[in-house]
Structure 1
Amino acid sequence: MALLEGKNILVTGVLTEASIAFHIARLAQEEGANVVLTSFGRTMKITQAIARRLPSAAPVVELDVSDPEHFEALAGRVGEHVDRLDGLVHSIGFAPKGAFDFLGASWEDVAPALNISAFSLKGLAAASLPLMSPGGAVVGLTLDAEFAWPGYDWMGVAKAALESTNRYLARDLGPQGIRCNLVAAGPISTTAANHIPAFKQFEKWGEHAPLGWDISDPTPAAKACAALLSDWFPATTGEIVHVDGGYHATGY
């Protein structure tokens, strides 16, 4: 039987074929899942077009994580396509340009980074609860927030908040049989990543990773997400799984 046979998975963050979320959705379908995507505003048409490039065209529901009313409507919108959710993927991150100047950033720069990149994990999980069943999984993506990465600045702080949010969700959703885990992926050259001013500094990541690292290949991260969405990690929650070629384990 396929890894995700018969499961219904909600995937956020699909914008282009280079998006990690696109490859998670693709792999989930290949492993037997029914996939629903989210998008909003001007990007809806883009996501709808990209959704047709999946092995099976996936429906797209509207979700702007900065709008509380969208969270209130999410279960109803997803419920038009599936009767339950077995898993959801948080692949959302945003920070204004000013947030990449740590000392110079204003609260107006920092607030949306924290809201969209971290608080939205709680919002997405809570909004999906009416459809989630015991055994379900929440999976998110992070860049290891243990370190102060060059040029990552307040986005790094937002990732630290995301990782903490995951632990609290694991605490509160565990009694309902729902697991919450993150994948700390190495840098991937996506549209979002290329908007990070200092992203080029990550290009030598593979030189320091014991297994090497291909910044153009999102498949290893997507496979880890699929595994965490599956039933093969029934007693794992609050965890951060590193998929970075082993970079995190080295001293340089």
Structure 2
Amino acid sequence: MGLLEGKKLLVTGVLTDSSIAFHVARLAQEEGAEVVLTSFGRQMKITQLIARRLPVEAPVLELDATSEEDLASLADRVREHVDHLDGVVHSIGFAPQSVMGGNFLTGEWEDVATAIHVSTYSYKSLAVAAKPLMTNGGSVVGLTFDAQFAWPVYDWMGVAKAGLEAANRYLARDLGPDNIRCNLISAGPIRTTAAKSIPGFATMEDAWPKRAPLGWDQSTAEPAARGVVALLSDWFPATTGEIVHVDGGVHAMGQ
């Protein structure tokens, strides 16, 4: 039996086959799970094409995580494919370039608000929207980038990730009575589409392999995806509100 045998999962954020979310969906299927994907807008067609590269082509639902209408109808639309959910993967994040790349002091509230809505508040929104389907409990897993520090060029996205990490703790508190665990994977820098959209991101990632005790390969999302799959499984039944670092060990090293 696979690690996720018989489980039914909702995975957001699959856009390319290099993304963490794609590797999560692939590994989850290989470990026995049934997977439903989400995408939205012009990205829908791209996600549908990428879904064909999975071991089993997964259905793709429309979901704008900032749309109350989409969130309100999510449970009913998921039920068209699976009768319940055992896990949800939040791989959603966006900030306008005007609030990254050294623009912390000049970032305006409208753009900062977008970053926080999409990258932070949507974690709670997605979990609440999926909760009616998680009648037997389950696991919600999100993705962060270590928000303990002020990273070069990350700016307001770093603030949004700090909010995400705080939201994870509160979500764990409020969903725990329903036997729903909420945890985050803090991954090292990976050359994904999201990373490439951050101005100057190379300045952050270049030194990472030298600082990581285990080394670090920026070209693969596999280690981070394995961490997500582990947290979706039943092997962490008493772990919630946690941030698991999959970064080669950089988080534990001094400067």
Q: Same fold, TM exceeding 0.5?
A: yes
Among 221, 226, 250, the residue aligned to 1:223: 226
Secondary structure of the equivalent of 1:13?
coil
User: 1:163-178, aligned counterparts within 5 Å?
Assistant: 163-178=165-180
Equivalent residue letter for 1:131? L
Mapped to 2, the partners of 1:199 and 1:67 lie a distance apart of 29
| TM-score, length of structure 1 as denominator length | 0.99
What is the CA-CA distance between 1:133 and the residue it aligns to?
A: 2.8
Distance of 2:161 and 2:153 partners within structure 1: 14
TM-superposition CA deviations, 1:42-80 (whole Å, max 9, x none)? 110100000010000000001001211110011011110
For the pair 1:181 / 2:195, whether they are aligned, the reply is no
Aligned residues: 252
Alignment of 1:138-157 (within 5 A): 138-157=140-159
Match of 1:208 in 2: 211
TM-score using structure 2 length: 0.98
1:61-76 correspondence runs (5 A): 61-76=61-76
Equivalent in the alignment of 1:136: 138
Q: Percent identity?
A: 69
Could you tell me which runs of 5 or more consecutive residues in structure 2 were left unpaired when the two chains were aligned.
none
Indicate the residue corresponding to 2:35 in structure 1. Answer: 35
1:170-216 residue CA offsets vs partner (Å, 9 max, x unmatched): 00000000000000000110011100002101122010000000011
**Corresponding residue of 2:163:** 161
- Secondary structure of the corresponding residue to residue 92 of structure 1: coil
Which of 192, 195, 201 is the aligned partner of 1:193?
195
What is the identity, as a one-letter code, of the residue corresponding to 1:120?
A: S
Secondary structure class of the residue paired with 1:192: helix
Aligned to 1:56: 56
CA RMSD of aligned residues (A): 0.6
Question: What stretches of structure 1 move > 3 A for 4+ residues in a row?
Answer: none
What do the CA deviations read for 1:202-239 (whole angstroms, capped 9, x no partner)?
A: 12201000000001110000000000000000000000
| Partner residue in 2 for 1:244 | 247
Give ranges in structure 1 of 5+ residues lacking alignment.
Answer: none
